[in-house]
Amino acid sequence: MKRWLALLALPLLGACGYNRIQTLDEQANTAQSQIEVQLQRRADLIPNLVNTVKGYAQHEKGVLEEVTRLRSQWGEAKTTAEKADTANRLEGALGRLMVVVERYPDLKANQNFRALQDELAGTENRISVERRRYNEAVQGYNASIQRFPTNIVAGFGHFEAMPYFESKTEAKEAPKVDFSEPTTAPTQR
């Protein structure tokens, strides 16, 4: 009788382990989706921000074009890795754009620009929170598939460790701030 109970317990434990892994996998995927939602929010804010800056900083064309180009690349990215890489480069370009803004006091005083800048700052905070949540979900998933007895189920189910979100080198570097006067006078629109 005890032998039969032991034989029945094994599949039940396996099913519980499988369900636990599936739940953790789904939590990590949901957290990853939330990162993409916030990245899309940032991408939607960028055209308004660029158009506002354009009126004041026409000769800063290179930075504006880079931000616009990277926003388009992010929208066209197919894989999560491509989106993450482009999002990191876009984060660096936005930092350079904010440095450009420092040169134009009239732009910094513009109410529309300030509202957009506040929205962008809030979105960057949301992205940071969602990346942290994703890494926490990945940590739970990865730990689960490495622990006994769920590691046995993970092996049979071909569950593999998920990668953590890591910032690229460009995103870790602070933008260079130059407080010198612009070479041409800004035009106001």
Give the range of the structural domain holding residue 38, as residue numbers without chain letter.
Answer: 24-172
Number of domains within the chain:
1
Mean pLDDT for the stretch of residues 61-82: 88
Residue 17 lies in a domain: no
pLDDT of residue 29: 94
Give the highest mean pLDDT range of 22-36, 109-123, 167-181. 22-36
Crossing angle of helices 80-101 and 2-54, in 10° steps, is 30
**CATH for 130:** 1.20.1440.20
Give me the phi and psi of 20, to 5 degrees please.
-65, -45
Please report which confidence band the pLDDT of residue 150 belongs to, taking 50, 70 and 90 as the band edges: confident
Contacts of 174 (CB under 8 A, 6+ apart): 95
R_g of the chain computed on alpha carbons = 24
Residue 71 lies in a domain: yes
pLDDT of residue 35: 92
List of long-range contacts for 162-165, beta carbons under 8 Å, 24+ apart: 162/25, 162/28, 162/138, 163/138, 164/135, 164/138, 164/139, 165/35, 165/84, 165/131, 165/134, 165/135, 165/138
Residue 2 lies in a domain: no
Please report which confidence band the pLDDT of residue 179 belongs to, taking 50, 70 and 90 as the band edges: very low
CA angle 48-170-42, nearest 5°?
Answer: 25
Residue 49 lies in a domain: yes
